[in-house]
Chain A
Amino acid sequence: MVKFERFRLSNGLKVLVHPDTSTPMAVVNVLYDVGARDEDEKQTGFAHLFEHLMFGGSVNIPDYDEPLQVAGGENNAYTTNDLTNYYCQLPADNLETAFWLESDRMLSLAFSKKSLDVQRKVVCEEFREHYINKPYGDVWHIMRELAYTTHPYKWMTIGKELPHIENAQLEDVKRFFFKHYTPCNAILVVAGNVTVEHVKALAEKWFGDIPAGTPYQRNLPQEPVQTSERRLTVHRKVPMDAIYKTWHMCSRMDDRYYAADLLSDILGGGASSRLYQALVKEQQLFSGINCYHFGSLDAGLFTIEGQLVKGVDIKLAEAAIEAELDKLRNQPVDERELQKVQNKTESVMAFEDMSVMNRAGSLAFYELLGDGELMNTEFDKYRAVTADQIHQLAADMLKSTNSNTLWYLSEPGATTT
């Protein structure tokens, strides 16, 4: 049970406080309700590039990291297609340092040309390291474009192409900042060895006078229902063939989300999951196979990915996946199997909540979903899922007309075995 209090400043900033006196540390987590889905299609990768620029100095403070490190703190940040999250942890006595730093970069950045020049290069290297210079690195670039015709989930957080990042201009950076990095678009969570009164006073002092900004009206083009199966084959210099299949699934706040999440565990959650047991262990068609989804806030993708055993015909491998899916489409899972994935979820949640940093991040995320209290009640929704609901969902979602299949094949001559 995570206890917290919530208040709101007059400029719209939501603040959640989660005191925990068992640690000498404090965590300050600032979530901005902006992600890659909010980008212009001609300027993708911007939300993430921007995350890098947030460390390049703010209007009154030339460097973010240094004063934080002096105060014994460390920090990081991440960007997804849905949101951007910044967090730092430091000795609770130095909490005010984090308020000083975070509030100044919410007020305004320094917008230094040097920082933009360097971070463009750094992000391009990040792009190359993770998506170009790695076998299978471009899979999600291809799959997103196959599965989405309209919704901005069709590009990756890192961006659609390198030139979008290389060409980013300071004016674009400023516009993006003043549109999205405002108090009314942010959630502040303070956790650890703190009191609600102290946090209230600090929040008022450091964030209270930041102009509210104009609330961002998200109006994204929604993905039309897919009505026919899509397939694509690519050849790359990789040693093994691989298959990727996705189906459109419901959004994070949909009632069916919990059944979908449990279904992904039944299929691909660990060593006793159906796909692993049938296709890796018994039939030995795959060297590895997984089932997962991203928990996207808008309607996302339910995914199966598998690496084929050398020499296996990909048609056969795909048919074997379909045979496993047929079982789910045709009959309900038994109670023990359902209970297994529910138990697993319960324990994942307990382990996730062990560190105060994770609890702060989760609170911010659930508050973005609508209510931080969901963090304490969500497991009940998993417990309430029935075998029939999973059966229904599998039948509805895992239809071929709703599917996107990518055959990612080894180019002849690309083998090393």
Chain B
Amino acid sequence: MPDRKSAPQIKDAVDYAIQLKHPEILQLKNKTDLYKVQAGTEEVVQIEWVFKAGNWYEQQNNVAAAANFLIKNGTSTRSAYDINEYVDFYGAYLNRSCYNETAVVTLHCLTRQLHSLLPLVQEIFTDAVLPEEELHIFRQNMKQKLAVNLKKCDFVAGRKIDALLFGDKHPYGIYSEMADYDALEIETLRRFYAQYYQHGHCTIFAAGIFPTDFDSLMETHFGSLPFNQNAPSEPAHLLQPAEQKKWNILNDTDGVQGAIRIARHFPNRHHPDFPGVQVLNTLFGGFFGSRLMNNIREDKGYTYGIYSYLQNHIHGGAWIISTEAGREVCEATVKEVYYEMQQLRFGDIDAEELLLVKNYLIGTLLGDLDGPFHIIGRWKNLVLNGLDISFFNHSVDTIKNIQAEELSVLANRYLNPDDFYELTVI
């Protein structure tokens, strides 16, 4: 009979050395940086073309997102269907996504199909036509999607909290209204495409198992494009946080749950408190064993889940607590969130709890670095935020070495309930 009462010996995860594999960095002739991580067991590749083409650069709401969406919906020689059919035929995925500062086109495919696919990707960066009809379909479908989403308390709360924090004119706080879609004009999108994609600022991140002629392929298809000729002008955006801190919105009279968001501003990754607060956040609400989860789900059963997280934008962000709770326990839930903030400020963090969080963080980090796509993802984050490996290493050191007293100091600095916006949407 094994001794089932006592835990087996463990090696503390904090004793592991964590190393982020370095990418190979190439520069194409047109000054496009190409980061490569060759690793993995499957014969697959992922390539991301990252453009400075997020909504930070638009002058009208949704222009960046619409241009990003339409980029693969037709060139002068191929229809949207032709492009989709071609990509699907080679078993590939060609996706695009638009964020605040950046917009990305991503290709996933089997290594052996890469030769057939890169010419197509090149074509959409040089010859996308953004057809009027495609904009019409996009507009119609996005409006319908929005109508459905506006029925969801979590969706409404998610956009409202951003608007409260940053202002509804700021790129981080702006959200879509039906009229914004109606106002989109194809010529505006085409100009945006020409400026921010065709002649835009591009960085490439690639991972997986590459074909032997990968470098020359990339040079052939992307090294002569008119990227990176001028640094894009960096627009200034004014932060306009709301004056009123507490908000209750009744979105659905029949709603049986409320979406709760409690949030404050938080600086970007360059701030010296950032790595420590990542540890504090984990303990507070960042994982399944967090204080918020233990109290509000596992002890009280008010919710299916509650999390806190750092919302990271390049220029600055927010610290947000997010949950959906039963309508009749929303108030009680909010009260418990503040209670947990105060506990972190004025109560003790015992050594055992802190070691658990550290081991958990290092353990998941070890697991997260499994595979080429995760490794390049880390590098992409560093590069786009103007950071280098020292930030990663410093974060790891912070997890391993931070003391309870330092966390208390950070809690007092950042978890004062008075600093938070509080929003409940039913």
Chain A interface (Cβ within 8 Å of chain B)? 20, 22-25, 59-61, 65-67, 69-74, 89-91, 93-94, 96-97, 99-100, 103-104, 107, 117-126, 128-129, 132-136, 205-206, 209, 237-240, 269-272, 277, 280-281, 284, 287-288, 307, 309-310, 336, 339-340, 343-348, 350-351, 353-356, 415-417
A-binding segment of B164-172, B364-372, B411-419: B364-372
**28 residue pairs bridging A and B, Cβ less than 8 Å apart:** A22-B41, A24-B16, A25-B367, A66-B356, A71-B10, A72-B13, A72-B16, A72-B363, A74-B364, A91-B16, A96-B8, A96-B9, A97-B8, A103-B4, A122-B301, A124-B326, A135-B152, A238-B148, A239-B147, A270-B88, A271-B88, A340-B88, A347-B92, A347-B109, A350-B44, A350-B110, A351-B108, A355-B371
Partner of B363, one of A67, A91, A136: A91
Asked if A133 meets B255 with Cβ closer than 8 Å, knowing A72-B363, A272-B85, A347-B91, the reply is yes
Asked if A133 meets B91 with Cβ closer than 8 Å, knowing A117-B301, A272-B85, the reply is no
- Of listed A120, A350, A355, residue having the most chain B CB within 10 A: A350
Contacts of B304 in A (CB 8 A): 122-123, 125-126, 129
Cα of A345 to Cα of B110 in the assembled complex, Å: 12
Q: Does B338 contact A (CB under 8 A)?
A: no
Inter-chain contact total with CB atoms closer than 8 Å? 219
Contacts of A416 in B (CB 8 A): 147, 150-151
Contact between chains at A25 and B370 (CB < 8 Å): yes
Contact between chains at B366 and A60 (CB < 8 Å): no
A-binding segment of B137-145, B216-224, B228-236, B382-390: B137-145
Contact between chains at A100 and B88 (CB < 8 Å): no
Cα of A73 to Cα of B93 in the assembled complex, Å: 32
Q: Mark B41-81, 1 if CB is under 8 A from A, else 0.
A: 11110000000000000000000000000000000000011
Q: Mark B89-118, 1 if CB is under 8 A from A, else 0.
A: 111110000000000000011100000000
Chain B interface (Cβ within 8 Å of chain A)? 1-2, 4-5, 7-13, 16, 40-44, 80-81, 84-85, 87-93, 108-110, 137, 140-141, 143-145, 147-148, 150-153, 178, 252, 254-257, 287-289, 297-304, 324-326, 355-357, 359-360, 362-364, 366-367, 370-371, 373
Contact between chains at A23 and B301 (CB < 8 Å): no
Contact between chains at B303 and A125 (CB < 8 Å): yes
- Closest B-chain residue to A125, C-beta based? B304
Partner of A74, one of B2, B141, B367: B367
Contacts of A340 in B (CB 8 A): 85, 88-89
Asked if A240 meets B297 with Cβ closer than 8 Å, knowing A74-B360, A94-B11, A344-B91, the reply is no
- Closest A-chain residue to B44, C-beta based? A350
Contacts of A61 in B (CB 8 A): 4
- Closest B-chain residue to A71, C-beta based? B10
Contact between chains at A307 and B144 (CB < 8 Å): yes
